[in-house]
Amino acid sequence: MSTPAPIEIEEPDVEELTAIDRPWQTVVWNDPVNLMSYVTFVFQQYFGFTRKKAEKKMLEVHRDGRSVVSTGGREEMERDVRAMHEYGLWATMERTDG
């Protein structure tokens, strides 16, 4: 009677796991078309931001050229990017740094 050979299981690299689990973020970019008041309105309407937070994010877009407006899973961020496009804003998604 023979005994089965042990099965070798490859352990995933910790860095690889971290990259997989890293959340995504939605970035809204500055554009020459939309008024600052409209961008503030969109942030309040879609994300439910307070007026103060919406204005802060809008100013980041205006001054820095971009603002991270949401963070989460890939599907959620795809939905947010699509919504921003429907409002006429330029948005993309990217992996978070950490």
In a domain, 58, yes or no: yes
In a domain, 15, yes or no: no
User: What is residue 22's predicted lDDT score, i.e. its pLDDT?
Assistant: 75
Nearest CA-CA partner of 50 in 60, 40, 59: 40
In a domain, 36, yes or no: yes
Q: Are 74 and 18 in contact (CB under 8 A)?
A: no
In a domain, 47, yes or no: yes
Residue segments in the chain with a per-residue pLDDT below the cut of 70: 1-21, 98
pTM for this entry? 0.77
In a domain, 11, yes or no: no
Sheet (strand 66-72) strand order: 66-72, 24-29, 90-95
Counted domains in the chain: 1
User: What is residue 7's predicted lDDT score, i.e. its pLDDT?
Assistant: 58
Helix (H, G, I), strand (E, B) or coil at 24: strand
Domain holding 73, by residue range, is 23-95
Cα gap 80→76, rounded to integer Å:
6
- Residue 36: CATH number of its domain: 3.30.1390.10
User: What is residue 97's predicted lDDT score, i.e. its pLDDT?
Assistant: 80
